[in-house]
């Protein structure tokens, strides 16, 4: 543009002024200076904006490793089991990051934890979907995780038979996304939340860790696929892996800070404990027991009911004992089976309500009898269930239900 101005002035046959300078030179200088000022201003503005962007902020406690502090990513940490696990980790002075999309979890549970542990660098919550690979990569890039406890999953047998693709996507596919991020960022430990549903309906009881895995519903199949991926990856990895296959979870935090609060629309698929409490509170007219013709003592299904406090204790012990290049697979249960009818009677006593019970045909995907042999986890991790009184566990959970009739929204 400057050369163009000079050409135009020469075309007009202008006369030089003092010093032989073209009379348009002062204007050219003004243009140059203006442009320099503009560029400098824009550059300064960009620097200010970049400094205020998240990636340019000073490192937080979560983004750097710290000697003596173990930073654990808890996926699904707003859910029933995940929130109780986060509580135990925080009590034991771990640094915790919860990732949850709140499709099944409760933000109220996270707020309880934040209120209990408000100190900087103790707990952070990230709203994200593990099916979003870019979001997961961002989370791992911006945080220095020492371990991952992977709880996040849809987990209802009945629902899995009605919508199997949801289960394969949410459990198997999402676990792959997490595993890929764990591998890229060289996370040292992975504790995977699996299930006894991977065994299906074994011919022999109790179930041991080498019992053939022959799942009979999409939930169990999706979990087994996720296990297989983890095991295949671990063969060429230095990562320490623990796979915990647990049984039917009941109970709640003994101090009444957390409890089970499933979404209302999922009541029909939920745990038997939730259904019992709903019936006791009059939310539903009665309890429906599906299947009375199984080959068990009283015709109803037999299950191994594990208290959530015991379950998270097993996870912490697994985290402590996990060793590089090793895989530990453990059943987490009491070693004792209780029938659905026994469970209902215990629930009636715990709530003090004579719950109405309707007996219906079997539910697709259910199996007759499942209970564990917890000998291996006792031997290797020195863990055994302590809260084995069914009625007492239900009494603790019922106390939370009564004080939270609308779940965490009642807080």
CB atoms within 10 A of CB 170: 23
Cβ atoms of residues 198 and 160 within 8 Å: no
Cα–Cα separations (whole angstroms), residue 261 to 86, 123, 290, 326, 342: 16, 21, 22, 36, 23
Q: Residue 13: its pLDDT value, please? A: 44
Give the number of other CB atoms < 10 A from CB of residue 11: 8
Tokens for 369? Answer: 């009898």
Taking the C-alpha atoms of residue 256 and residue 377, their distance in angstroms, rounded to an integer, is 28
User: If we measure between CA atoms, which residue out of 320, 314, 362, 318 comes closest to residue 340?
Assistant: 362
- Laid out side by side, the sheet with 189-195 consists of 123-127, 95-100, 71-75, 147-150, 189-195, 240-246, 327-332
**Within a 13 Å sphere around the CA of 178, how many CA atoms are in the beta-carbon half?**
32
Give the pLDDT band of residue 411 (cuts 50, 70, 90). low
Distances (CA, A) of 69 to 125, 190, 215, 322: 18, 17, 39, 16
In order of start, what are the domains of the chain with their CATH numbers?
Answer: 71-403 (3.40.50.720)
Residue 28 pLDDT > 60, yes or no? no
Burial class of 290 by CB neighbour count within 10 A (0 to 12, 13 to 18, 19+) = middle
Residue from 156, 167, 199, 219 carrying the catalytic annotation: 219
Residue 41 C-alpha from the chain's centroid: 46
pLDDT tens digits for range 310-343? 999 999 999 999 999 999 999 999 999 999 999 9
Residues found in the chain? 411
Condensed to tens digits (0 to 9), the pLDDT of residues 355-384 reads 999 999 998 878 889 999 999 999 999 999
**Strand, coil or helix: 291:** coil
CA distance 334 to 247: 9
Catalytic status, residue 371: no
Q: How confident is the model at residue 115 (pLDDT cuts 50, 70, 90)?
A: very high
Backbone angles phi, psi at 313, to 5 degrees: -65, -40
Q: How far is CA 102 from CA 130, 174, 362, in A?
A: 11, 15, 31
Q: Please name the residues in contact with 301: beta carbons below 8 A apart, sequence gap of 6 or more.
A: 291, 294, 339, 340, 366, 367, 368, 369
Predicted confidence (pLDDT) per residue in 125-167, tens digit: 999 999 999 999 999 999 999 999 999 999 999 899 999 999 9
Rg from Cα positions in the chain:
30
| One-character DSSP codes across 311-340 | HHHHHHHHHHH--TT-EEEEEES-S--EEH
């Amino acid at each position: 543009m400057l050369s163009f101005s000079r050409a135009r002035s020469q075309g007009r046959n202008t006369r030089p002024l003092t010093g032989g300078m073209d009379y348009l030179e002062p204007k050219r200088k003004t243009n140059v200076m203006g442009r320099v000022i503009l560029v400098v201003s824009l550059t300064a503005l960009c620097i200010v904006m970049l400094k205020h962007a998240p990636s340019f902020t000073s490192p937080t406690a979560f983004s750097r490793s710290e000697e003596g502090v173990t930073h654990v990513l808890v996926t699904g940490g707003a859910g029933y089991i995940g929130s109780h696990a986060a509580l135990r980790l925080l009590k034991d002075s771990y640094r915790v990051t919860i990732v949850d999309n709140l499709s099944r979890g409760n933000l109220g549970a996270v707020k309880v934890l934040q209120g209990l542990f408000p100190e900087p660098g103790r707990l952070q919550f990230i709203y994200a979907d593990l099916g979003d690979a870019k979001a997961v990569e961002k989370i791992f890039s911006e945080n220095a995780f020492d371990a991952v406890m992977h709880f996040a999953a849809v987990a209802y047998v009945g629902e899995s038979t009605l919508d199997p693709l949801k289960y394969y996507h949410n459990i198997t596919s999402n676990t792959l996304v997490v595993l890929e991020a764990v591998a890229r960022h060289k996370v040292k430990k992975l504790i995977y939340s699996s299930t006894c549903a991977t065994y299906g309906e074994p011919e022999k009881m109790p179930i041991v860790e080498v019992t053939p895995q022959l799942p009979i519903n999409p939930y169990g199949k999706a979990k087994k696929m996720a296990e297989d991926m983890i095991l295949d990856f671990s063969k060429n990895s230095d990562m320490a892996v623990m796979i915990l296959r647990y049984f039917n979870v009941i109970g709640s935090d003994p101090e009444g800070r957390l409890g089970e609060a499933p979404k209302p629309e999922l009541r029909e698929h939920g745990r038997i404990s939730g259904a019992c409490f709903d019936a006791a509170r009059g939310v539903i007219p009665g309890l429906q027991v599906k299947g009375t013709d199984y080959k068990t003592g009283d015709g109803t299904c037999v299950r191994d009911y594990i208290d959530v406090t015991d379950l998270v204790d097993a996870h912490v012990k697994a985290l402590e004992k996990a060793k590089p290049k090793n895989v530990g697979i453990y059943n987490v249960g009491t070693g004792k089976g209780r029938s659905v009818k026994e469970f209902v009677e215990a629930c009636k006593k715990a709530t003090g309500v004579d719950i109405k019970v309707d007996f219906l045909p079997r539910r697709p995907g259910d199996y007759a009898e499942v209970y564990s042999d917890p000998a291996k986890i006792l031997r290797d991790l020195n863990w055994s269930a302590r809260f084995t009184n069914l009625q007492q566990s239900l009494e603790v959970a019922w106390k939370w239900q009564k004080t939270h009739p609308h779940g965490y929204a009642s807080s």
